[in-house]
């Protein structure tokens, strides 16, 4: 190189903000500008004639010689060690991070290489800070080149999600994160929603056609994800940071809600309690994903297992009934109306065998029953499980309330039908008789019939009283309580015009019933006995285990009529209303009691009630029902 061009060349190099070093084919330094002093601590004259490896850390010198020779054989202007972390060695032996750009030059017919060296210490410090933040992010993060899609950064959580070491993903295309065989589809999504110039920030939930976005693990598992993507510039390079969020749980929750809605529609359409119980048990299995479920319905003083899933029956055996007022979790939940959860039911010492069950949660269905969900794993239920089970229990309560309301409505309609029948037929007959007799009185065609008219009016009054009892009071059971049998019987007997009739109480004890409704029942039976058995009839009552009976020594009821006497409007007496025994039947039904009409031991009528909660006193009548 001529002196003037050389001087101009060196002047340009001296003006450069970078350290400039020129080396010949043998790797010896032929020139260094003043910036090498700031960067490496050498005076430029100290480096001229020294091998270029003087500025290379000792650990990398052997490899550097081979790399240098390869470049001399095929020189081109390029960045050295692209994508690598390069270091230079200072005069004091310390190392500094650097970037190197290489360019071949000709000088006096000789081929030399110029290296522009830049201190990237500040950049590396910023990068270290950036990587620290990246690792601190609680979600998986992948950073890629916006133009090429090449992955340049991956944090540990992304590696954990996808089953890779983070370094194994660096340098690979962004599409490797997604399902195999769908690279074009995901690249198009990448370009459209993230890499476009108008998209600085976008949360990707799904493809435009609504299909879920998935990440694919190293093992081929597809994971539904949401990607929060952010486009930014760093060192003249446009990058994309994608924050991945595993939405498997969210998708499962959405599925559970859809299943819950479907189950709710089925519950609302169900026709009876048993069907509702079965639907609830199955819904708990399909919605929550737990196989051991039992639905208990309240029957009298017990909580009866009405629906048991196959898993619960197979692994836990026959499930017990629980008392309504007991200390077991099912009883406590029913009584309090508040749900309970146990991480391990083995801590309960209540004497009940729960098989392999460990976790358990119990949810009330109002006053209808309790849902039990258990699992063999300890502490398996999370707040989402409890929330869904609670919603299911409320929906079950609503369905059972609806069913109860519809049944009450049906009964009310039946009573109204009976009322209409009485008004249209039974009440008209005595009214016609009274009108005919009064007409005869006015015309003088017949003698005075005051007694007959009074009897007709008395019958009308009885019909009106019975209809009012039926329509106003109904047959609903409001409050079941324990009643002294002999006391309630005596009170009812005193309220009936019994003339010379006799009452005998064969056995005593406690009877659990609605006090108002049981009074209606007994008074109607006593009135029926006196009306049909005569003024000196003897009425015998007795309490037994699970029931009670009322019998008389009157003429009895013919076998052919015993199934009909409880129907509305049926009567054999001229002054009967045909409603008294029907009221008795409906009150028994309201208590869920059975009623049977038979012949008493004395040949009269006997009304036997079964399915009754009773506590007979010592020596109570239990074993010889024929005594009545």
Q: For 515-550, how does the pLDDT look when each residue is reduced to its tens digit (9 = 90+)?
A: 888 988 898 899 889 888 888 999 999 999 999 999
- Cα(345)–Cα(377) distance, integer angstroms: 11
Domain spanning 137-246: CATH superfamily: PAS domain (3.30.450.20)
Q: For residue 465, give every residue at least 6 positions away whose Cβ sits within 8 Å of its Cβ, in sequence order, or none.
A: none
> Do 462 and 573 meet the contact criterion of CB atoms below 8 Å apart?
no
Edge-to-edge strands, sheet with 614-616 = 480-484, 509-514, 614-616
- The class (CATH top level) of 474-616 is alpha beta
Residue 227's nearest CA partner among 204, 199, 209 is: 204
**Which CATH number is 257-346+354-407 given?**
3.30.450.40
Supply the pTM of this predicted model.
0.49
Pairing verdict, β 302-308 and 322-323: antiparallel
pLDDT value of residue 628: 54
> Do 66 and 54 meet the contact criterion of CB atoms below 8 Å apart?
no
Low-confidence ranges of the chain (pLDDT < 70): 1-6, 77-84, 107-109, 122-130, 132, 193-202, 235, 415, 418-435, 437-438, 440-476, 568-579, 619-628
> Do 550 and 537 meet the contact criterion of CB atoms below 8 Å apart?
no
Q: What 3-state DSSP class applies to 196?
A: coil
Ranges assigned E (strand) in 37-109: 78-80, 86-89, 95-107
Residue 406's nearest CA partner among 260, 295, 273, 264 is: 273
Domains of the chain: which residue ranges?
Answer: 5-120, 137-246, 257-346+354-407, 474-616
pLDDT value of residue 505: 94
CB-neighbour burial class of residue 154 (10 A; exposed 0-12, middle 13-18, buried 19+): buried
Largest Cα span, the chain = 164
Residue 345's nearest CA partner among 329, 358, 330 is: 358
With tokens 């196959």, the residue in question is 310
pLDDT value of residue 221: 93
Is 474-616 the same fold as 137-246? no
Q: What 3-state DSSP class applies to 65?
A: helix
**Which CATH number is 5-120 given?**
3.30.450.20
Phi, psi of 492 (to 5 degrees): -70, -40
């Amino acid at each position: 190189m001529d002196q003037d061009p050389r001087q101009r060349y060196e002047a340009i190099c001296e003006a450069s903000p970078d350290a400039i070093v020129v080396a010949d084919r043998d790797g010896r330094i032929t020139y260094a500008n003043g910036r090498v002093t700031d960067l490496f601590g050498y005076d430029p004259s100290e480096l001229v004639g020294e091998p270029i490896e003087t500025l290379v850390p000792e650990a990398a010198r052997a490899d550097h010689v081979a790399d240098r020779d390869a470049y001399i054989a095929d020189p081109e202007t390029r960045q050295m060690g692209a994508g690598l972390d390069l270091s230079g060695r200072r005069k004091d032996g310390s190392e500094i991070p650097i970037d190197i750009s290489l360019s071949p030059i000709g000088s006096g017919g000789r081929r030399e290489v110029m290296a522009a060296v830049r201190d990237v210490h500040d950049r590396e410090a910023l990068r270290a800070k950036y990587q620290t933040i990246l690792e601190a992010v609680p979600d998986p993060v992948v950073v890629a080149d916006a133009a090429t899609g090449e992955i340049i950064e991956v944090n540990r959580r992304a590696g954990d999600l996808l089953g890779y070491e983070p370094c194994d993903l660096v340098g690979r295309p962004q599409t490797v994160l997604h399902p195999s065989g769908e690279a074009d589809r995901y690249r198009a999504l990448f370009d459209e929603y993230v890499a476009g110039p108008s998209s600085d920030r976008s949360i990707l939930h799904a493809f435009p056609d609504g299909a879920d976005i998935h990440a694919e693990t190293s093992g081929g598992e597809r994971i539904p994800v949401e990607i929060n993507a952010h486009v930014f510039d760093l060192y003249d390079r446009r990058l994309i940071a994608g924050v991945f969020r595993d939405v498997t749980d969210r998708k499962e929750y959405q599925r559970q809600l859809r299943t819950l809605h479907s189950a709710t529609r089925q519950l609302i359409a169900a026709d009876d309690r048993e069907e509702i119980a079965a639907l609830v048990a199955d819904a708990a299995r399909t919605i929550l994903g737990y196989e051991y479920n039992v639905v208990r319905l309240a029957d009298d003083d017990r909580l009866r297992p009405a629906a048991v899933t196959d898993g619960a029956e197979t692994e836990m055996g026959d499930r017990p009934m629980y008392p309504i007022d007991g200390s077991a979790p099912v009883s406590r939940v029913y009584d309090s109306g508040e749900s309970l959860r146990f991480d391990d039911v083995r801590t309960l010492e209540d004497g009940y065998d729960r098989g392999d069950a460990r976790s358990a949660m119990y949810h009330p269905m109002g006053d209808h029953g309790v849902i039990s969900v258990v699992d063999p794993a300890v502490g398996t239920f999370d707040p989402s499980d409890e929330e869904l089970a609670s919603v299911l229990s409320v929906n079950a309560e609503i369905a059972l309330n609806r069913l109860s309301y519809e049944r009450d409505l049906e009964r009310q309609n039946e009573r109204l039908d009976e009322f209409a029948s009485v008004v249209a037929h039974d009440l008209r007959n005595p009214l016609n008789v009274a009108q005919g007799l009064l007409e005869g009185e006015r015309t003088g065609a017949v003698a005075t019939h005051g007694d007959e008219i009074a009897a007709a009016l008395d019958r009308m009054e009885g019909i009106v009283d019975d209809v009012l009892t039926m329509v106003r009071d109904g047959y609903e059971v409001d409050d079941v309580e324990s009643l002294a049998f002999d006391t309630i019987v005596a009170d009812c007997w005193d309220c009936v015009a019994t003339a010379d009739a006799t009452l005998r109480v064969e056995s005593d004890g406690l009877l659990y019933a609605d006090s108002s409704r049981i009074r209606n029942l007994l008074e109607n039976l006593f009135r029926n006995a006196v009306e049909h058995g005569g003024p000196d009839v003897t009425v015998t009552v007795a309490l037994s285990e699970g029931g009670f009976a009322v019998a008389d020594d009157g003429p009895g009821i013919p076998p052919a009529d015993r199934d009909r006497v409880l129907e509305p409007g049926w009567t054999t007496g001229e002054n009967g209303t045909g409603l008294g025994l029907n009221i008795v039947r409906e009150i028994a039904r309201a208590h869920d009691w059975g009623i049977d009409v038979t012949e008493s031991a004395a040949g009269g009528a006997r009304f036997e009630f079964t399915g009754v909660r009773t506590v007979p006193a010592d020596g109570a009548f239990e074993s010889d029902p024929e005594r009545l």
